[in-house]
Every structure is written in C-alpha cells, then in structure tokens.
C-alpha cells in the first residue's frame, strides 16, 4: 500500500492507495510545530482506525509546500513506517516538461495537479485548486506545464473581512439565494462566492485567449464543488486530484528505479 500526503498551509490531505485504488482518505489540520513522533502517532492512529497495519505501507510520497515540516515528515516515515519517503520536486521524472522560468519556484502541489490532470483529462487543461491560496495552473496543448495564476484563497478573504471590518461577522461559505444580499451575511456570501466564481471565469477566458485555444477546466480542493457550481467554465470537480497525481508520480519514480 502507498501512503500519499498532500501537505498544504491549512490542511494535510492523506490518502492510502492499494494499487490504483484510493481505499482511504482523510483531511487533518496542518501544524508546523508537530514533531515526527506526533506525526507518526497521528498517521498510525488513522491507519489503525481504517484497519490498516503500518506494516502494510510499503511506500510514502509527499507533496509539501511547508518547508519547515520536511524533517518531521521524513522522520515520521522512517521511524513509524520504516520507509524512505519521496518528496515531490521538479527534479523527479514527472513526465511533464516545466516551462516556468525557475522550476524551483513552482509549488509541489501545482506540479502534482498538472501530472494528474494530463493523465485523467488530457491536454490542454487548467487546474483550479481552491486551497489556502486559489491557484490556476495551465497545461499547454503539448502537455507542458506553463505556469498560471495565484490569488488569495476564499477562506483567507472571508477571514480578512471578519478580522479587519468591525461590524462584519464570520460567515459560512455557502451560496445565498440572491446576488443582492438582503442581510449582511447574505451580502458577504454573495460577494465572496459569486465574486470568486466570476474571477475564475474571467481568468480562464483570459488564459484561453492567451493560449489561442479552449481547455478542459478541472477544479479541486476543499471548496471546489461550491464554487464550481457558480461558474460557467469549470467542467469537472475532482476532489482527490492531487492524491491521484501523487500516486502516478510514485509509480513513475519507482518503476524508473527498478
């Protein structure tokens, strides 16, 4: 079995694969102060809860955008699962040419999403990932990773309004019944959710114009389904796209070293 970890700034998405099949998955809070032992106890507890023995895990692959956590995650894999983890970077054989000016600047999760999108949906494609930041990553018709756009995430925007505007409350991020809100909560929900949906559509249209062609547009991340329902351009919602990319990269790396 393969343990795949997508470590983001807010959450860690954990998946267990048996061959090509995702058999278990969890979302846990990202804690930069968590030690290797604490990570190990958390992972083994999750596995035990799913009736999976730690000894059944024969590989670990990690996409990590929080560099201070690298040593603790590596220690967890070595000490509790007795395997050497693979950390995703541009130096791995991803099978996707990277056309970023400096490939070292690209977040591992963005590369993983590109690998998965090409594998599942083909090229050209745009992956919209609704995480701590909202990212749009662009794959050319030739299957190259070109780059993309980064904007503040929906959760960050909603929290910023709550923290900096004295009379605005913390809200649930759901679509209100009208774009013209009749309460402060509805007005905030409309501005944030419909505003982000419109921003995504506008960015996708600009990308299509720049590419000179239409693309498949795939959304992933915690709020993907809610926002995608309000857009015109998102065609697929794939909540486990990043985990699937990690599995594909694991297979490429391990087959190449066999």
Distance of alpha carbon 235 from the chain centroid: 17
Residues present in the chain in total: 258
Place of tokens 């190990």: 40
Closest C-alpha among 106, 164, 157 to residue 131: 157
The answer to whether residues 54 and 44 touch, using CB atoms and an 8 Å cutoff, is yes
Residue 35, number of CB atoms within 10 A of its CB = 13
Which residues are within 8 A (CB) of 19 and not within 5 positions of it... i.e. 6 or more apart? none
Rg (CA), the chain: 19
CA atoms within 13 A on the CB side of 126: 25
List the beta bridge partners of residue 236: 218
Q: Which of 109, 129, 137, 238 is catalytic?
A: 109
User: Which DSSP helix (H) or strand (E) runs through 12?
Assistant: strand 11-18
102 as an active site residue: the answer is no
As annotated, the active-site residues are 109
């Amino acid at each position: 079995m393969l343990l795949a970890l997508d470590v983001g700034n807010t959450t860690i998405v954990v998946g267990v694969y048996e061959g090509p099949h995702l058999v278990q998955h969890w979302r846990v809070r990202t804690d930069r102060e968590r030690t290797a032992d604490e990570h190990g106890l958390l992972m083994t507890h999750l596995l035990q809860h799913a009736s999976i023995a730690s000894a059944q895990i024969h590989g670990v692959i990690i996409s990590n955008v929080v560099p201070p956590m690298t040593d603790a995650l590596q220690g967890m894999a070595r000490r509790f699962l007795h395997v050497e983890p693979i950390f995703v970077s541009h130096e791995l054989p991803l099978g996707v040419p990277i056309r970023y000016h400096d490939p070292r600047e690209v977040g591992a999760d963005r590369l993983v999403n590109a690998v998965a999108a090409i594998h599942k949906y083909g090229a050209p494609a745009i992956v919209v990932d609704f995480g701590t930041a909202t990212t749009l990553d662009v794959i050319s018709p030739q299957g190259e990773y070109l780059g993309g756009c980064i904007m503040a995430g929906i959760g960050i925007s909603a929290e910023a309004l709550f923290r900096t505007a004295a009379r605005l409350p913390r809200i649930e991020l759901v679509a209100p019944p009208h774009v013209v809100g009749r309460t402060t909560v509805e007005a905030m929900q409309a501005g944030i959710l419909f505003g982000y949906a419109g921003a995504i559509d506008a960015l996708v249209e600009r990308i299509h114009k720049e590419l000179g062609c239409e693309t498949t547009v795939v959304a992933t991340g915690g709020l993907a389904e809610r926002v995608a329902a309000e857009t015109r351009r998102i065609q697929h919602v794939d909540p486990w796209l990043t985990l699937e990319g990690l599995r594909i990269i694991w297979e490429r790396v391990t087959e190449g070293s066999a």
